[in-house]
Amino acid sequence: MNKPKILIIDDDEKIRRSIGRHLTREGYDFEEAENGKQGLEIVTRFNPEVILLDVMMPVMNGHETCQILRREYNYLVFYIIMLSAKAKHEDRALGLNIGADEYITKPFEVNDLLDKIKLGLHFCQIKKMVNIDPLTGVYNRSFFNDYISQELVRCNRYLGNLTMMLLEINDFQQSATSGTGQENNKVIVEMAHLLKQQIRQSDFLIRWGEKLFVIVLSATEIEGSQVLADKLLKAFSTYTKTRSGRLAINIGVAEVRCDENDLFRRVEEALNMARNKGNNQVVFN
């Protein structure tokens, strides 16, 4: 079972160590950052559910960090607990208005902080249910719609790269009425697990349709996606040797250029070309 993930962003090493000891006792997984800029670099890779965010920090303070988190990372589900020595009502109001979910003044009671963390984890669990495919446990279209628009804005703003894969499972019965519905679901679940094992932590796996998956590779050029495509075909080949019956995949790949519609049109075209070439083919568009 995966441990809940907590990110501590605070320039005070003693506070980070103290909080970290309590998080360890509670069975949580956590990472640390000493300023907001460093924290933002960790967020996508670590994907925390609760972020403990100090306000007064060098390089990038908590207010600026919170605003960026809500503006550019809102496709992720996380609960922000702002920590500050500023105890005035207007300070608390400012923190909550710019995107914090909770505001705790320093010095704080450890049990109070742990209670707020548990509340945040419960909040994230409920919210994630909206964005998760119930069969496979990976993201669904609802998540994709929120994520891709923000990711494309960030990609264009920072002149980054974004590549998308559309993967289709072929050659197995799709109809649940044919008596193979349970077996089909088993294959889909196993494929989702296989794909999750191959992608990076910074990539996103989405179930797009009954036998379709989307993989979004952030900060990746089309050439870089070749590495993942090769890994997927190799892992799939190993997987098919462990089961009876026919099974195949095809993959279409495209790098972002202009907008979401153009990207998806080109990745669909790539998948169609892969289908026309036969089974277990990859086409880059």
Band of residue 259 on the pLDDT scale cut at 50, 70, 90: low
Mutual angle of helices 260-277 and 141-157, in 10-degree steps: 110
Say what the pLDDT of residue 175 is: 38
Taking the C-alpha atoms of 231, 137, 214 and 144 in order, what is their torsion angle to the nearest 10 degrees?
-140
pLDDT at 253: 95
Please list the residues that pair with 214 across neighbouring strands.
166, 206
Among 57-71, 151-165, 198-212, the least confident range: 151-165
Specify the DSSP class assigned to residue 76: S
Rounded to 5 degrees, φ, ψ at 239 are -65, -45
Instruction: Report whether 252 contacts 285 (CB < 8 A).
Output: yes
**Mean pLDDT confidence for 101-129:** 93
**Tens digits of per-residue pLDDT, 119-129?**
999 999 888 88
Give pLDDT tens digits for 53-94: 999 999 999 999 999 999 888 778 899 999 999 888 899 999
- CA gap 192, 188 in Å, rounded: 6
The one-letter code for the residue type at 25 is R
- Provide φ and ψ at 273, rounded to 5°: -65, -35
Residue 275 has pLDDT above 80, yes or no: yes
Please check the confidence at residue 154 and state whether its pLDDT lies above 80.
no
Tell me, yes or no, if the two domains 5-131 and 141-284 fold the same way. Answer: no
CATH assignment, 141-284: 3.30.70.270
For residue 163, give the H/E element and its range: strand 162-170
For the chain, the structural domain boundaries read 5-131, 141-284
Between 36-46 and 62-72, two packed helices, what is the crossing angle to 10 degrees? 30
pLDDT at 221: 81
- Which of 114, 91, 92 has its CA nearest to residue 23? 114
pLDDT above 50: residue 179: no
pLDDT at 257 over 70: no
What is the model's pLDDT at position 158? 64
pLDDT band at 272; cut points 50, 70, 90: very high
User: Would the pLDDT of 15 be above 90?
Assistant: yes
Q: How far is CA 185 from CA 1, 28, 128, 232, in A?
A: 22, 32, 22, 20
pLDDT attached to residue 178:
47
Residue type, 83: L
Q: What is the CATH number of domain 5-131?
A: 3.40.50.2300
Does 206 have pLDDT greater than 60? yes
